[in-house]
Every structure is written in structure tokens, then in C-alpha cells.
Amino acid sequence: MRAEDSCPKREVNSVSFRRSCRHTSLVLRSANSARHTVVVVIIKDIEKTWNTLAKCTRALALVAVLEPAAALEQFDQAISDASLTDPWDLEKAVVLSLPVTSPALDEPHVRSQLHATLRKLEEELAGFESQVLTFIERLIGDPQYPYVAAENSAEMSAQIASIEKNFDSLYTTLAVEQRADARAAQASLDALRSTLAQKTPFERDVSRALGSGSRQEILSLGTRWWMATEHAIAVRKAVAELKQRLAPSTAVQ
């Protein structure tokens, strides 16, 4: 009886095994199909990405072909970006390196003189910033601005001359006027002053931007000068900090 009873069990087990195999096969086929679908989707996404990149590249190439003048104008500047920012960066580096302790600084009149010089520098740097902001406002909002551009160029040149003079006084008082970095900073600032005193370079940049009729070109010129004020503001802050550190016990009014 036990041998006979075991036969049906083996048959049942065999049937279950075959069903399990068929189920496993179906699961594997389903998994393979799903994996194939995922691969296809990924490939299609990659193709879309490459197509998008290709379209962007063609669009950029088309812009370069249709607007070569605009691309070239960014490099055709009478007053370069470096000449607008380098003087302030160099002056700031010198100011940050100036000594705040020395035998000469123990004299009350020396500290009072330095305090007065630094106060003037702050005021003159703020004046230059105001001039530039006024220029930007008129550049963007006044089509007739080119007629007074030369006058504004001369005014900014005079303002920078005053700034340069007070830096010279500061460096001389602290006995650093012959240092290489101080001389380089003053030479760079004087170069900007000289360029603006000539008037023509400034007029040229203004006339080109407004004459282009392109708002982008006008805003680009304004942005370049705005960056110059950002660098000048950094110098003014450094000067203010130095003035605070060198403040005499009783400041001269």
C-alpha cells in the first residue's frame, strides 16, 4: 500500500514541478521583455539627448554666422575691462597691506593727517561711484547722451586725479610710496585717468553702443562700468577699515 500511495504523490509532484517550470519560464520571459523595454527607452532617451545637443550646436553656429559683428564688438573696446578694474584691485591690495603700527604712527598729528587723507579718499571714491551710476542711467535712458559723453569723461578723469593724489599722500605718509606694488597701483590708476582725459576712447565706446541700436550692447557697456564701481567700492571699504584702525584718539574735525 505504501508503494502504491507513493505513486500518486510522485505524479502530483511531477505536475507541480512542470507547472513551476512553466511559471519560471514565463517570469524570465517577462523579465527579459521588461529589460528589453528599459534598454529601448534608454537608447531613445540618449538619441533624444544627442538630437537636442545637435540642435543646440546648430543654433549656436547659426547665431555665430548671422551675428558676427555682435560677437566681435565684445572684443573691440576702446577702454578694456582690465583698465576699468585693475587699478582698483591693485590699490585695494596695497591698502590691505599697509602697516598700522610704526614709530611714526605714534605721533598724534601723523594719525590725524592720515585720518583726514583717508576720509577724503572715502569721499572721492564715493564721488566716482556716483559719477559712474549717473553715466549708466543716462546711457540707458538718454539717446542724446553721446553729446555730453566727452564732458563726463573729463569729469571722471578729474575725480580719479584727486583719488590718485590722496593715495600718493597716504603712501608717502606711511613711507611705502616706493614699494613696487604701490607704484604699480598708482601707474595703473594714472593710466585710467589719462585714458578718460583723452575723452575720445570713452566717446567711442558710448557712440558704438548707442549707435548699434542693440539694447544688449548698451547694457553690456553699462555692465562693464558697473563692475568698475564694484571694484572701486571694495577699495572704499578697505580704506574705511584702515581709517578705523588708524583713527587718532581725538580725530581732527
Mean pLDDT, the chain, whole residue set:
79
pLDDT tens-digit readout, 42-88: 444 444 544 444 444 443 343 333 344 334 345 478 999 999 999 99
DSSP-derived secondary structure letter, 105: G
pLDDT tens-digit readout, 149-203: 999 999 999 999 999 999 999 999 999 999 999 999 999 999 999 999 999 999 9
Specify the pLDDT at position 30: 55
133-157: buried (b, 16+ CB within 10 Å) or exposed (e) per residue? eebbebbeeeeebbeebeebbebbb
Instruction: Give dist(CA 34, CA 104) in Å, integer.
Output: 84
Specify the pLDDT at position 33: 53
pLDDT tier at 16, thresholds 50, 70, 90: low
> Is the separation of the CB atoms in 121 and 232 below 8 Å?
no
pTM above 0.85, yes or no: no
Q: Is the dihedral of CA 11, 16, 18, 19 positive or negative?
A: positive
Nearest to 248 by CA among 123, 114, 101, 119: 114
Specify the pLDDT at position 250: 43
Question: Per this entry, what is the length of the chain?
Answer: 253
What percent of the chain is modeled with pLDDT above 90?
Answer: 57
Of the two residues 69 and 5, the one the predictor is more confident about is 5
